[in-house]
Amino acid sequence: MELRTDGDHLVGTAPAGGPCNLSGAEQVLTGDFQDNVFVGTVTVCQSGEACELTGTYPVLLVYNIEDRVFAGRVKLEPGCGSDALGDKGLLVLRAATPEPTQGAPATPQPAERQAQVPVQIAPPSSGSAAQVAAQRREAVDVPAALKLGHQALAAKNALGATQQFQLVLAQDKNNASALTGMGVASFLRNQQGDALRYLELARNVGNLQARAEASFWMACVRLAERQPKPAQDALRRAVKEGWSPPEDNALVDRELQRLSGEGPLFEQLLKEARGRKRAQGRDPQGAGSVSP
């Protein structure tokens, strides 16, 4: 794919052929950068009984500094698939590799071809994924991005929060606050599986405070999945690890009401948590925190 930029605006053109067997070059990607995050639309070929031959979908791609690639997932219509995407709709843009040596296979295997879209080197006015990314390699202001992300969560703006947390994770994949924030953002978008995955990652890499925060949100996710016993276990773990609710946080208050309605065992745990005074300046990760 050839990428062309005009300021923060980017257009991607796929050549003829490729996984979608295009008859000629076509514009398939368009959108704008917000720091190291690309937000736009992508057009892909589709397969499936009730699917159009092509579909255009919103896409959010994040630049990974370590791997020097742009990557994100495209959520297709139910029942649709695309040879242009990898597992679970993964889209990866990376610089084209050098020409293979004689005797080496010139065509990637199907699984590899679906997992990433090679990017051709373009004229000076354009750029490959690596060239575009190189222009955006400035270090992310992690505290500022976390603050914006958690503010977006408090306003129930899941997309805006996701953009900020992904910026942080592109630079620090083990940032517990960003992982928790991604979990809560996924929860707000009813993506419970992703929410639990991010929250578990936050528990694995975070300190005691981060683990407690992640456990609280795991309780909220489990309750949304109508699993009261795992929800109760997660809430008990959060309280044991020292979690306490913040003041004046509408998102947390909403979840506290839902948890309280599940019976006396939940209410007893919440009463214990409310009895604690949250440390000065400490806000809940995933719902307003600015701490890494």
What is the secondary structure of 167-230 as a DSSP string? Answer: HHHHH-TT-HHHHHHHHHHHHHTT-HHHHHHHHHHHHHHS-HHHHHHHHHHHHHHHHHTT-HHH
Mean of per-residue pLDDT scores for the chain? 78
Residue 179 has pLDDT above 70, yes or no: yes
Whether pLDDT at 186 is above 80: yes
Confirm if 63 and 70 have CB atoms less than 8 A apart.
yes
Percentage of the chain modeled with pLDDT above 70:
75
Rounded to a whole number, what is the largest CA-CA distance in the chain? Answer: 72
Predicted pLDDT at 139:
64
E strand or H helix at 272 = helix 264-274
Instruction: Give the mean pLDDT of 73-99.
Output: 77
pLDDT score of 3: 76
Spatial strand order of the sheet with 90-95 comes to: 117-119, 90-95, 69-73, 54-64, 37-45, 26-34, 9-14, 2-6, 126-127
| Cβ partners under 8 Å of residue 17, min gap 6 | none
* CA–CA dist 238, 81 (Å, integer): 40
Helix (H, G, I), strand (E, B) or coil at 83: coil
Specify the range with the lowest mean pLDDT, choosing from 147-156, 237-246, 273-282.
273-282
Q: Would you say residue 184 has pLDDT above 50?
A: yes
Q: Which range is least confidently modeled, 38-52, 130-144, 169-183?
A: 130-144
Residue 207: pLDDT band with limits 50, 70, 90: very high
pTM summary value: 0.55
User: Is the Cα dihedral 228, 230, 234, 239 positive or negative?
Assistant: positive
Between helix 176-188 and helix 158-171 the angle, nearest 10°, is: 150
Q: Is residue 222 scored above 80 in pLDDT?
A: yes
pLDDT reading at 201 higher than 70: yes
Asked whether residue 291 carries a pLDDT value surpassing 50, the answer given is: no
Average pLDDT over residues 8-22: 83
Provide mean pLDDT across the span 189-194: 88
Per-residue pLDDT band for 138 (boundaries 50, 70, 90) equals low
Element (H, E) at 235: helix 228-240
pLDDT for the residue 68: 66
Find out if CATH 1.25.40.10 is the number for domain 142-274: yes
Pick from 171, 178, 176, 170: nearest CA to 146: 178
Question: CB-based contacts of 131: which residues, under 8 Å, 6+ apart?
Answer: 3, 95, 121, 122
Could you tell me which of 171, 150, 164, 159 has the C-alpha nearest to residue 63?
171
Q: Is the pLDDT of residue 110 over 60?
A: no
